[in-house]
Structures are given as C-alpha cells and as structure tokens.
C-alpha cells in the first residue's frame, strides 16, 4: 500500500491536502511524509507510524529519538552513517544495536551487521528528522546509494520502498490495516530528558509511556494508561478479549458502573469490534445494539474512538474512549494508538495477567 493511502486510511490527512501536496512534490524534491511534516500538515509521529505500517519495520517516534543513547554513536563509523543515512539509538533488550534507517531493508541490516560485527535491529522514521540528526552527529550526508557490502545470509521478507511514489484509489483497501509497531518493544527502559517550561500534552504522554514501560505488572501499566486517559477524555474503558467477548477490566467515566457487569460480544458490530477485527485504531462507529450499549457506557460521545492492544500477534484487549476533554487536543487518535501500543509492549514483557 502506498504511503498516501495509509495516511488517508488512518484519517490523519485531508484528501484535498494530500492531492495538493503531491502536485507540489516534484518542485519541493522531498519525500511525501517529510514534506507533509515540514509543512505541519501531519504530526511527525503520525508520519512515522504510517512508514512503519508500510515497511513493516518498527517506528522510531520523536520520544525515542530525543532519548537516544549517545554512547552507541561510535558503533557505526561516521562515513557509514552519512552514506547510508542511519543512526544507532541504543541497545535492544536482546543485546543488539537498534539502528534507525531512512530506507530499512534486509540488505541494509545484513550490511550493518557485517560492518559492526554485532546483531542489528532496524527501525524507520521520517527522513526529514533522521537526516537532520545524521548531519548533526556524522556530518553532511553522502548520497552514494545502497550498501556495497552485502553478506549472503539475506532474507527477502522485506522490499525497499520508495515513499515518494503514490497511487490514490477510489476503492477502499481490501485488507485490514495492522497496528503499527514502535521501537518501545525493542529498547530497554529509557529516562525522560530534562526539560524546561510548563507541562504539555506531549510531555504528559511521554511520561505516561515511560511509566508503562517501567510497570512491574499489567495492573500498573493499565492504570497508568487509564490515569492519562482520565485527564484527556471524558470517559475511557479498557476491555479484555476473552472467549468471544470484550470484558470490562478498568476504566474512567460516570456511566461505567462496575467492571464485572460490562460484557460486549465481539462478533457484533461496534467500535470495539472494528478495532479488534482491523487491528487498528478507529473512529468508525457502526449502528447496532452493542454499539448503543458501548456509547451509553462512554457517556454518548460525539466522537468515540478505540484502539487494539496487541501482544505476541494477538489482540488481547481494546481501549475505547469518549470525547476529548478539550477541543484543542491534537491528534487524539494518535495518542490513543500510542497508549495501546505501549500497553501491548508491556503485555509482552510482563507475560500473562
């Protein structure tokens, strides 16, 4: 799927804006995602999530780039970083080197492992940010193409992707949109950087994600997510998927009542069912009795949303929210998806409930 199609399906970009940007792209000589970010038409993390979905490599979000471990910079020679546009950001939980690449491919991964003599785990992020960091750390970028040293042990499971090309179809995509991954699942616990100024939603979200990454059990991780949701949405409901039903686990809202009484069938139309079936964050609320029940629990919101929590390839829970507490909340669906992704990573790390 082309990157523009993914952005449209994730509902982070207006189709007219996308069309206009594509028309102006040849003159700008920028990749589409970088161009959209540079013009403040999409959030940087939304662009990274879309690239992760397209390439099937984990996304390095802004918080990961800001908290990168500078002690691993020398693991990659400067000339390699400049030529291949790559930047190491830390050591993975498995001991490998986490490297963010502008164009991640199996060829690049094998070549980096050949050069560094260590296992490499690749991630992707928007070129506009990665190029700036590579210039700052390694010097001016050298556009010499793909790696020249390519060991034989290379898988063909990934293909190189040119994000500057785009095809817009009138028909919707036939396959469901998977939930993008981030490098939170790869990196060990990271500390928030020291900052100045007053609190912001971004800093607050970063703090919550760090709490989830440090949680010692599922309950602590879930409560951190609900605490953030209680400050940013009028209602929130975490539902555990079990034996064909979504069961109330914990939440926030005046109409929720007791969690034990919340049981929603997962095979009947609802916002939760769509998030479960498509494995992606959604705001598409169908009609039906189950959706009416869910809406009532969330306080009959005008714009409810839901995101799946995926661990080890399985949708284990769904996080649903009502209306934001402030109309100024930027990209609420993206923030909900970030919470769900962090919870999925915590579920994998902590094992069964």
pLDDT tens digits for range 282-304? 888 888 999 999 999 999 999 89
User: Global pTM?
Assistant: 0.55
Contact status, residue 141 vs residue 82, Cβ threshold 8 Å: yes
**Domain range spanning residue 54?**
3-138
Residues 112 and 226 both lie in one domain: no
* CATH assignment of the domain containing 33: 3.30.300.160
Structure confidence by residue, pLDDT tens digits, 8-36: 887 778 888 888 888 888 887 889 999 88
Contact status, residue 108 vs residue 101, Cβ threshold 8 Å: yes
Residue given tokens 């207006």 in the structure block: 14
What is d(CA 340, CA 335) in angstroms, rounded to the nearest whole number? Answer: 9
Structure confidence by residue, pLDDT tens digits, 110-124: 999 999 999 999 999
The residue out of 138, 157, 185 marking a domain boundary is 138
* CATH assignment of the domain containing 314: 3.30.450.40
Per-residue pLDDT of the chain (353 residues; tens, 9 = 90+): 788 888 888 777 888 888 888 888 888 788 999 988 888 888 888 889 889 989 989 999 888 888 888 899 999 999 999 999 999 999 988 888 999 999 999 999 999 999 999 999 999 999 988 998 998 888 888 765 545 443 333 333 333 333 333 333 333 333 444 444 677 767 765 443 433 333 466 678 878 888 888 888 999 999 999 999 999 999 999 999 998 899 999 999 999 989 999 999 999 999 999 999 988 888 888 889 999 999 999 999 998 999 999 888 889 999 999 999 987 677 788 788 888 988 988 898 887 65
Residues 132 and 210 both lie in one domain: no
What is d(CA 152, CA 175) in angstroms, rounded to the nearest whole number? Answer: 33
Residues 211 and 132 both lie in one domain: no
Residues 214 and 312 both lie in one domain: yes
């Amino acid at each position: 799927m082309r990157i523009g199609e993914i952005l449209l399906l994730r509902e982070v970009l207006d189709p007219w804006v996308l069309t206009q940007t594509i028309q102006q792209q040849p003159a700008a000589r920028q990749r589409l995602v970088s161009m959209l970010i540079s013009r403040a038409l999409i959030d940087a993390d939304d662009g990274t999530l879309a690239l992760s979905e397209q390439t099937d490599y984990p996304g390095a979000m802004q918080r990961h780039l800001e908290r990168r471990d500078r002690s691993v910079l020398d693991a990659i020679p400067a000339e390699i970083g400049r030529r291949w546009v790559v930047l190491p950001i830390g050591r993975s939980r498995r001991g490998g080197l986490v490297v963010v690449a502008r164009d991640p491919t199996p060829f690049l991964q094998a070549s980096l492992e050949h050069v560094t003599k260590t296992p490499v785990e690749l991630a992707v992020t928007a070129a506009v940010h990665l190029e700036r960091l590579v210039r700052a750390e390694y010097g001016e970028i050298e556009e010499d193409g793909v790696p020249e040293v390519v060991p034989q042990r290379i898988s063909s499971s990934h293909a190189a992707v040119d994000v500057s090309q785009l095809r817009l179809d009138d028909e919707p995509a036939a396959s469901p949109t998977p939930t993008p991954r981030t490098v939170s699942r790869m990196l060990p616990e990271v500390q928030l950087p020291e900052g100045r100024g007053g609190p912001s939603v971004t800093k607050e979200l970063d703090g919550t994600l760090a709490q989830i990454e440090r949680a010692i059990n599922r309950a602590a991780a879930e409560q951190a997510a609900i605490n953030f949701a209680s400050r940013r949405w009028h209602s929130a409901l975490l539902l555990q998927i079990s034996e064909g039903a979504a069961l109330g686990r914990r939440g926030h809202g005046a109409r929720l009542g007791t969690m034990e009484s919340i049981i929603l069938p997962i095979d009947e139309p609802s916002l939760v069912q769509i998030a479960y079936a498509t494995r992606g964050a959604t705001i598409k609320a169908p009609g039906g009795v189950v959706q009416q029940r869910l809406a009532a629990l969330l306080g009959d919101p005008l714009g409810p949303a839901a995101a799946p929590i995926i661990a080890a390839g399985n949708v284990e829970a769904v996080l649903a929210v009502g209306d934001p507490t402030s109309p100024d909340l930027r990209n609420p669906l993206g923030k909900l998806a970030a919470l769900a992704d962090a919870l999925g990573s915590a579920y994998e790390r902590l094992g069964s409930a």
